Amino acid sequence: MHPILSAKPQEKLLLLGNEAIVRGALEGGLRIGAAYPGTPSSEIGNLLFQLQRELPGLYFEFSTNEKVAMEVAAAAAASGLRSLTCMKHVGLNVAADALMTLAYIGVKGGMVVVTADDPSCHSSQNEQDNRYYARLSGLPMLEPANPQEAREMTAYAFELSERLELPVLLRTTTRVSHARAVVEMGELASYEEALKGKFEKDPKRWVPVPAIARVRHQVLLEKMREATVLADGSQWNRTYGKGSKGIIVSGVAVNYVLDAVEELGLEDEVAVLALGFTHPYPAGLLADFLREKEAVLVVEELEPYLEEAARVVAQERGLKVPIFGKATGHFSRALEFTPGLVKEAIARAFGLSYTSPEAPDLSWVPELPPRPPTLCPGCPHRETYRVVKEVLEELGELSRTIFPTDIGCYTLGLLPPIQMADYLICMGSSVGSAGGFSKATDQRIVSFIGDSTFFHAGLSPLASAVYNRHRFTLVIMDNETTAMTGHQPVPSQELRPPELEDRPRIDIEAVVKALGVPKVVTINPYKKEEAKAAIRPLLEADELSVIIAKAPCILYRARVAKK
């Protein structure tokens, strides 16, 4: 049995924040989970996918994208079952269409939406602050500060969700999801039997045509008022220490603030309001805190969400207390915080003298070579890039070719010596933007997309490209897995672990042909000359074509061989 399942209540395990979320979900009686992987959320899905083999009462699937996953989880919750979906911050953009209206129709069974944000873009294309999705959608939000809270809040989130009949956002960041710390276990739910839900028809609730949507919006607004009361009294909003100065903080920064207050010896001068239930913000609690203080510093990564809330509360109550934060230049809206940065800001805000430890003289350290992440030695993507580049070179087309790229390991084709990644927005943008370039320019366009990303967001832009006579070559780099995030399954894969042997297989070449793409070839990128001869006519022509470069990820192949 997996240790996360065998651990008894009160037993302590060293868990990653994401593992703690899984344990919390299983304590909270999760029945149906669905996700598309994305760093820093991926371990949640990986673990649930693995654990369902030991738990007859748990179903988890890797859906083809975050929107599908959210719809699967929403339907489960509409049927009265507790459900969860998890995604990286930009994944919620994909699922946002579902989320916004799901907030209107709500849920019956508890539903948790985990959004794992990535300040500093450790593994992402932007550092958007998804707390604004809570505000935009009008959904309650919890923000754990560490793995222990991640476990407890996840279990609690199901109760909160059922009480309000709304999905609950659980917002982490990389430093919470990928922190590892001692976590004390609670009681696991029973998973001995598969449990079926029942969907009760109620078109006046579940089908938001305009007349119903207008009513449901009112219901949502009423629930937000109820949620504000809950936030004010929430056990997740706590005060530490006492004093005439105050700090308001949420997320991983709670740790930085509590350490700093202790290390600066400010426990009797600075009170800390650490918030875990942050949307709707606890207006009453904030007002009480602000009223007693001479000055308040708001510490939060990325956007000034709590800071603005504090200013609104102060204005509404006519409180004159100075509020420091992003607007006053104490913090930046960009990049993640560090403990030192927070300590300095606290000292500055409250007029304390603090000097960071003296740095040693390092003038003798030589220039060191950078270590950008690279494609693995022997990676099939390297071969595909080489084959395409050589043909374009031979055709004299290389310098006039635009290479739209996509999200996956192959984005590393950006770096020398490959340098075949020119334009990227988001999942699937290699296909949609290629069509745009083909209408806007006379340049040659060769796009790259992975197999998993193709199923995620490549199918509909390819249909559009066929219909609108877009002119580009799309290279689908089929390595038979979702490699970057840890080898999650893909519907097209032939190479698969034993437990997935019985799944149907969707053939990429058949799909592309069925969409009506005029020219399609499949190559083995390791057979260089053969591959070059096969793709040359496509790279010469001025019409839509698809090259499927098929060779498994070498790490994935080794992993499957071990099973």
Partner 1 sequence: MERLRILAVGVGGQGILLFSRVLGEVALSSGTPIAMSEVHGMAQRGGVVETNIVLGGVRSPLISEGEVDILVGLEPAETLRALPRTRKDTVIVSSTDPVIPQIVKDGLATYPDLTEPLQKLQEAYPRVYLFPGEEIAREAGTARALNIVTLGALAGTGLLPFSKEDFLEAIKKIVKPKFLEANLKAFEAGFSVTAS
One character per residue 340-359, x = contact with partner 1 (rule: CB under 8 A)? xx-x------------xxxx
493 binds partner 1 (CB under 8 A): no
Kindly tell me which residue out of 375, 420, 424, 538 binds partner 1, with binding defined by CB under 8 A.
Answer: 375
- Report the residue number, 195 or 554, with the smaller CB distance to partner 1: 554
Number of residues located near partner 1, criterion CB under 8 A = 56
How many of the other CB atoms lie within 10 Å of CB of 10?
9
With contacts defined by CB under 8 A, name the span among 28-36, 278-286, 323-331, 364-372 that binds partner 1: 364-372
Q: Where is 523: in which H helix or E strand?
A: strand 519-523
Rounded to the nearest whole angstrom, what is the least distance from the CB of residue 3 to partner 1 in the complex?
10
Residue numbers 172-231 binding partner 1 by CB under 8 A: 175, 178-182
Kindly tell me which residue out of 1, 211, 368, 440 binds partner 1, with binding defined by CB under 8 A.
Answer: 368
2 binds partner 1 (CB under 8 A): no
Kindly tell me which residue out of 373, 378, 516, 537 binds partner 1, with binding defined by CB under 8 A.
Answer: 373
- Report the residue number, 360 or 498, with the smaller CB distance to partner 1: 360
Q: At what angle do helices 339-349 and 253-263 cross, to 10 degrees?
A: 60
Asked, as a colleague might, if the bond just before 497 is cis with ω within 30 of 0, I would say no
* Calculated CA dihedral for residues 419, 420, 426, 429, nearest 10 degrees: 160
Rounded to the nearest whole angstrom, what is the least distance from the CB of residue 444 to partner 1 in the complex?
26
367 binds partner 1 (CB under 8 A): yes
Residue numbers 8-37 binding partner 1 by CB under 8 A: 12-14, 16
Rounded to the nearest whole angstrom, what is the least distance from the CB of residue 379 to partner 1 in the complex?
9
Rounded to the nearest whole angstrom, what is the least distance from the CB of residue 304 to partner 1 in the complex?
21
- Report the residue number, 411 or 433, with the smaller CB distance to partner 1: 411
Residue numbers 245-304 binding partner 1 by CB under 8 A: 252, 254-256, 258-259
Using alpha carbons only, what angle is made at residue 253 by residues 270 and 139, rounded to the nearest 5 degrees? 110
365 binds partner 1 (CB under 8 A): yes
Q: At what angle do helices 17-27 and 147-164 cross, to 10 degrees?
A: 40
Using CA atoms, how far apart are residues 38 and 6, in angstroms rounded to an integer? 27
Give the sign of the dihedral formed by CA 465, CA 466, CA 469, CA 474.
positive
Using alpha carbons only, what angle is made at residue 549 by residues 544 and 551, rounded to the nearest 5 degrees? 165
Using CA atoms, how far apart are residues 186 and 177, in angstroms rounded to an integer? 19
- Report the residue number, 178 or 330, with the smaller CB distance to partner 1: 178
Kindly tell me which residue out of 27, 43, 61, 143 binds partner 1, with binding defined by CB under 8 A.
Answer: 43
561 binds partner 1 (CB under 8 A): no
End-to-end CA, the chain: 17
Using CA atoms, how far apart are residues 204 and 259, in angstroms rounded to an integer? 51
Using CA atoms, how far apart are residues 72 and 33, in angstroms rounded to an integer? 8
Q: Which of 179, 530, 193, 236 minimizes the C-alpha distance to 383?
A: 530
Interface contacts to partner 1, rule CB under 8 A: 12-14, 16, 39-40, 42-43, 122-123, 146, 175, 178-182, 252, 254-256, 258-259, 338-341, 343, 356-362, 364-377, 409, 412, 415-417, 484-485
